Amino acid sequence: MTRAPLTAATARAVIVEICQLAANKPVTSVLICDPRVAAQHSLTQMLRPLDSLIGITCISDGFELMDAYSVQPADIVLIGIERSINTGPEAVALQSAMHPESVIIIFGAASDADLLVAATIAGAHGLLVWDHNQLPTSSDPQQDGPLAW
């Protein structure tokens, strides 16, 4: 089986649908926890089609996540999972323990499958598998270019 990269439009539709299904209500706020600016930007752009969305907050680590969520809870919490970054299953476990009502969706590369499974066990409600090699690096990704989500 050959896997072609998703177009930006298809990726946006998938992300929007996953967020709406996970929250089981209109999504008005999203917290993105990932130190990679490219990942934050890519997800922010993909979430823009959510009609109900009022705000997106991007933070870079799990400790900031605890503070940000305590001050302003979000409908969806997106947490990046990767071996080389400061977030992961621990951030999911802490968020889930401190705020069991939060809806957590994790995202990461298929090559980090063991971390994705651990984060799911720790309390994530959903999972997006992505190819970090195809993540847009420019500040303005092409509207219809390939994004591997």
Residue 31 has pLDDT above 80, yes or no: yes
Amino acid, res. 58:
C
Q: Is 55 exposed, middle or buried (0-12, 13-18, 19+ CB in 10 A)?
A: exposed
Residue 141, domain member (yes or no): no
Q: What is the CATH number of the domain that holds 11?
A: 3.40.50.2300
Residue 77, domain member (yes or no): yes
Residue 147, domain member (yes or no): no
**pTM of the entire structure?**
0.78
Residue 110, domain member (yes or no): yes
Residue 106, domain member (yes or no): yes
Residue 88, domain member (yes or no): yes
Residue 19 or residue 118, greater confidence: 118
Predicted confidence at residue 72, as pLDDT, reads 93
Residue 51, domain member (yes or no): yes
| Residue 33 lies in domain | 6-134
Residue 128 or residue 30, greater confidence: 30
Domain tally for the chain?
1
* Contact predicate 95/79, CB 8 Å: yes
